[in-house]
Structure 1
């Protein structure tokens, strides 16, 4: 957990003070959801001006901000390849740290690699924001899949910008987010994603870790975690509390957002 210890030191240096019954779709014999394998998905063209306005900058090769995400991409993929990991969770101690911006930029950066493909899943059932940042209309995609109203293959969209493409499963707001995260149906959804998208790195944008028990409920089903902290948003005690919950989950990197007061999405990582 050396990366978390380094984040603790950075936060200290900054001196920051600051239920119902769930019913899901029927399961297949292997415990996954009934779903067709990867097929033709609805395509959405992302607008560069919308991305830029929302600090999503890693969709192209130009621009100095995007290259920081490319460096993060390379280090994250090296760690995941070493262990044959597929599922990466992106979370933060509290709100306002930039976890969704990081998840979107990392996914777009991976999509630019010629021999890589990525699926970005918005599993923040409290405040889903992937669709807003990318300019995609979600129409309750994740919740529709969990409740059996929409097959996974129909809910996933192909987002493209320039010559690059990635798959996105937009999010949904649920008043039962904690229960869904711990449910057998969620486990079945993850099994289906692992089976039907086995050639892809899957990035899950999760809620903030300390907001409730959503993240700790799903962590045992995830291979590795990327923790996003924010200078001015994250305290030393926040990071130490996260460390307790992440004892059994590999943390591939800790991204420290808002390191400087200028220049948009600059960040450091450990």
Structure 2
């Protein structure tokens, strides 16, 4: 073989071993770093996954509609909600938590419709969101007549029912952050004709367990349907550790409250809120008279 032939053969061998392009170099590189990225990315959903979308809540409109979003006011309602949330937080994270099942899950309901349960649910969530070391998830569990999206003026996006139907596999996909620090919202989702069966399913039980354990500093507030005449609410009551029952002054009958609370589990810590009470001539929409204790 001539010297020229030897040189050509050597050059050909070198070119055969050399990657032909930048893309080929990338493909020939170890894939270890990509595999590590996939492993590090939480499949269950941390706060990073929750940041896919944000619900914007207009603070000015909150004030117009009677909701208390600021902790800087001396409004008597703000103080009343502080007293209520303190009891809820103490039961959720204090010594009583050991005696309650999923103590950081709180349902808010009423005996009958239109007694102000959603008003109480939202204000409780807003008050808890003011805490420095706690977060709150507000769930629209009134799947028969969802109203959080109307009250707070956002779209009823993919939510609870979609997850229970299997249309969404990741809990993080139905938990939306808001522009209010420490507040997250889970909408009701699209209507379904099997709401009772979905809420009574193993998937719902597993979801409630995950929500309870997901973040150790979180309170979950469920805005539930009324207790009387609705089969969904007692089902939800079996999944939570605390219940707040709302009654409207001069309207709700004592017999209705007794019948409503008789459907709640005896192990629940149950509190009562008297809503729409007349305090002064300038402030006629509020509540007071909060009681709390184990159901007997």
TM-score by length of 2: 0.73
Deviation, 1:211, is: 2.8
Runs of 5+ in structure 1 lacking a partner? Answer: 1-33
Deviations 1:80-119 (A, max 9, x none): 3232221111111111111111111111111111111111
- Residues 77-156 of structure 1 aligned to structure 2 (within 5 Å): 77-81=89-93, 82-84=95-97, 85-150=103-168, 151-156=170-175
CA distance in 1: counterparts of 2:109 and 2:222, whole angstroms: 9
What secondary structure, in the 3-state scheme, does the structure 1 residue paired with 2:271 have? strand
Aligned to 1:55: 66
Q: Is the 8 A contact 1:46 1:160 kept in 2?
A: yes
Q: Is the 8 A contact 1:141 1:170 kept in 2?
A: yes
Aligned to 2:290: 269
Deviation, 1:63, is: 4.6
Aligned to 1:159: 178
Deviations 1:52-89 (A, max 9, x none): 23321144321503222122111221233232221111
Aligned to 2:30: none
Aligned to 2:235: 217
Deviates more, 1:141-150 or 1:204-213: 141-150
CA distance in 2: counterparts of 1:266 and 1:160, whole angstroms: 27
Q: How many residues align?
A: 235
What secondary structure, in the 3-state scheme, does the structure 1 residue paired with 2:78 have? helix
CA distance in 1: counterparts of 2:91 and 2:118, whole angstroms: 21
Deviation, 1:186, is: 1.2
Q: Could you say what the CA RMSD is over the residues aligned between the two structures, in angstroms?
A: 2.0
What secondary structure, in the 3-state scheme, does the structure 1 residue paired with 2:132 have? coil
- When residues 186 and 247 of structure 1 are mapped into structure 2, their CA distance, relative to the original with a 3 A threshold, is closer
Runs of 5+ in structure 2 lacking a partner? Answer: 1-42, 98-102, 292-296
**Is 1:35 aligned to residue 47 of structure 2?**
no
CA distance in 2: counterparts of 1:86 and 1:105, whole angstroms: 17
CA distance in 1: counterparts of 2:71 and 2:154, whole angstroms: 19
Aligned to 2:79: 67
CA distance in 1: counterparts of 2:201 and 2:265, whole angstroms: 22
**Is 1:190 aligned to residue 241 of structure 2?**
no
CA distance in 1: counterparts of 2:80 and 2:215, whole angstroms: 27
- When residues 87 and 247 of structure 1 are mapped into structure 2, their CA distance, relative to the original with a 3 A threshold, is closer
Deviation, 1:242, is: 1.8
Deviates more, 1:199-208 or 1:49-58: 49-58
CA distance in 2: counterparts of 1:247 and 1:184, whole angstroms: 19
Aligned to 1:76: 88
What secondary structure, in the 3-state scheme, does the structure 1 residue paired with 2:55 have? strand
CA distance in 2: counterparts of 1:145 and 1:246, whole angstroms: 25
Deviation, 1:124, is: 0.8
CA distance in 1: counterparts of 2:91 and 2:211, whole angstroms: 21
TM-score by length of 1: 0.79
Runs of 4+ displaced beyond 3 Å: none
CA distance in 1: counterparts of 2:229 and 2:74, whole angstroms: 34
